């Protein structure tokens, strides 16, 4: 007996530097591509290709945060061009590789994952105990889906005229009483973005954010700026297991206390509601949109 288990052998095959294609991975593990894919998916919850892509991006983020050049990192991650790597990196982290800040801690480069498998520097994997439940599994998916789906809806909104964008389709409609009315695509989408800006400021201890321009291009820029900060806030909560901690929100007048986990649930709950309302509005204006189904989103993002 060597002490190695089958899952570790599969992971080694997935992440071997020379195994760029599924067939190469399967060959290293002495398996057919079909059975190899099935074993990896059963053991990790990810397809081999998605798992390799995510861990390689995590390794890339760690290397960039420690001073590596973008071109070198792109080649090491198996990308044929810097442009292709930059697009994949930006989709995953919400920021281009050239703008990545230096990592604040040893796990800041981790992406949401349906398992405990992550890149751990310098050349290793971090693998949680196989018997330990992963508390962030569903939450991580919901968080990433919320960010990706908001991006998708901003793209769809950009096809509207300014008149339709600001048309009061649902006069008098409110989601939360303290937010005021949200009768138009513009107001619903602005609240969707601004909610994260407010809560990120509360967690980071910064000033109350300004309500900047709310045209589609401006909302895209605001969303792209706040999304990675929001995901970083929640990753930090998970890593510190601070879900039951109390946040004293000095941005409220007077200051108010909140349980940290309930804040995340609040953002996700009302975010999902607003995204579906946006779909109703957009369809009424003749814009074709998908259903926003997390299952279909997950297949596109993680199982491709």
pLDDT tens, N- to C-terminus, the chain (304 residues): 333 457 777 888 888 878 888 888 888 888 888 988 988 888 888 899 998 888 889 888 888 888 888 998 898 888 889 999 999 988 888 888 877 644 444 456 778 877 777 776 654 555 544 434 444 568 888 999 999 999 999 999 999 999 999 999 999 999 999 899 999 999 999 999 999 999 999 888 888 899 989 999 999 999 999 999 999 889 888 878 888 888 876 666 666 788 889 999 999 999 999 999 999 999 999 999 999 999 888 887 765 4
Torsion from C-alpha of 205, 256, 243, 295, nearest 10 degrees: -90
> What range defines the domain where residue 67 resides?
6-127
Q: What is the spatial distance between Cα 194 and Cα 197, in angstroms, rounded to a whole number?
A: 5
Q: Tell me the C-alpha distance between 202 and 262, whole Å.
A: 14
Instruction: Point out the domain boundary residue: 127, 155, 179.
Output: 127
Q: Is residue 119 classed as helix, strand or coil in its secondary structure?
A: strand
Is 192:279 a contact under the CB 8 Å cutoff? no
Same domain for 51 and 178?
no
96 and 172 belong to one structural domain: no
Question: Residue 5 has what pLDDT?
Answer: 59
Look at residue 108 and tell me if it is in a domain.
yes
Specify whether 284 is located in the same domain as 154. yes
Domain boundary among 127, 151, 178: 127
In a domain, 286, yes or no: yes
Taking residue 97's Cβ as centre, other Cβ atoms within 10 Å add up to: 23
Q: Where are the alpha helices (DSSP H) in the chain?
A: 6-15, 22-28, 33-44, 48-65, 70-76, 82-93, 137-157, 162-166, 185-204, 216-240, 260-284, 294-302
Can you give the pLDDT at residue 223?
Answer: 95
The CATH number of residue 290's host domain is: 1.20.120.450
Q: Residue 1: inside a domain, yes or no?
A: no
Three-state secondary structure call for residue 44: helix
Same domain, residue pair 172 and 120: no
155 and 290 within one domain: yes
Contact between 153 and 94 under an 8 Å Cβ cutoff? The reply is no
Residues 107 and 144 in one domain: no
In a domain, 77, yes or no: yes
List the Cα angle 145/148/153 in 5-degree steps.
Answer: 115
What values do phi and psi take at 119, rounded to 5? -75, 130
Neighbours of 167 (CB within 10 A): 16
Shared domain for 102 and 239, answered yes or no, is no
On whether both 165 and 290 belong to a single domain, the answer is yes
- Residue 217 inside a domain? The answer is yes
| Secondary structure string (H, E, C) spanning 204-222 | HCCCCCCCCCCCHHHHHHH
- CA pseudo-torsion sign 11, 237, 192, 85: negative
Q: Judge if 200 and 278 occupy the same domain.
A: yes
- Predicted TM-score (pTM) above 0.75: no
Q: Does the bond joining 242 to the residue before it have cis omega, within 30 degrees of 0?
A: no
Same domain, 150 and 270: yes
- Let me know: does 226 contact 199? Beta carbons within 8 Å: no
Q: Which phi and psi angles does 178 have, rounded to 5°?
A: -75, -10
Q: Does residue 132 fall inside a structural domain?
A: no
Q: What's the pLDDT tens digit per position in 184-213?
A: 999 999 999 999 999 999 888 888 899 989
DSSP string, 124-177: EEEE--TTS--TTHHHHHHHHHHHHHHHHHHHHHTTS-HHHHH--SSTT-BSSG
- Domain count of the chain? 2
For residue 187, how many other CB atoms are within 10 A of its CB? 20
């Amino acid at each position: 007996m060597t002490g190695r288990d089958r899952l570790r052998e599969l992971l080694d095959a997935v992440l071997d530097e020379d195994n760029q294609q599924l067939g190469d991975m399967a060959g290293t593990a002495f398996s057919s591509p079909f059975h190899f894919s099935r074993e990896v998916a059963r053991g990790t919850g990810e397809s081999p290709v998605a798992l390799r892509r995510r861990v390689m991006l995590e390794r890339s983020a760690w290397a960039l945060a420690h001073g590596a050049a973008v071109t070198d990192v792109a080649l090491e991650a198996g990308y044929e061009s810097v442009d292709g790597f930059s697009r994949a990196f930006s989709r995953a982290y919400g920021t281009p590789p050239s703008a990545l800040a230096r990592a604040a801690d040893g796990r800041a480069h981790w992406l949401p994952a349906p398992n405990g498998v992550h890149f751990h520097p310098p050349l290793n994997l971090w693998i949680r105990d196989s018997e330990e439940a992963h508390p962030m599994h569903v939450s991580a998916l919901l968080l990433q889906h919320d960010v990706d789906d908001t991006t998708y809806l901003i793209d769809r909104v950009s096809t509207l005229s300014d008149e339709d964008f600001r048309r009061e389709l649902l006069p008098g409609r409110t989601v939360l009483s303290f937010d005021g009315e949200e009768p138009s695509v513009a107001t619903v989408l602005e609240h969707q973005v601004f909610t994260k800006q407010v809560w990120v400021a509360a967690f980071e201890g910064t000033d109350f954010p300004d309500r900047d321009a709310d045209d589609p291009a401006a909302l895209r820029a605001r969303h792209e700026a706040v999304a990675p900060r929001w995901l970083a806030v929640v990753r930090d909560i998970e890593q510190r297991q601070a879900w039951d901690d109390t946040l004293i929100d000095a941005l409220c007048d007077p200051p108010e206390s909140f349980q940290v986990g309930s804040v995340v649930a609040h953002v996700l709950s009302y975010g999902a509601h607003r995204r579906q309302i946006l779909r109703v509005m957009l369809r009424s204006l003749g814009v074709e949109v998908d259903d926003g189904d997390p299952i279909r989103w997950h297949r596109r993002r993680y199982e491709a």
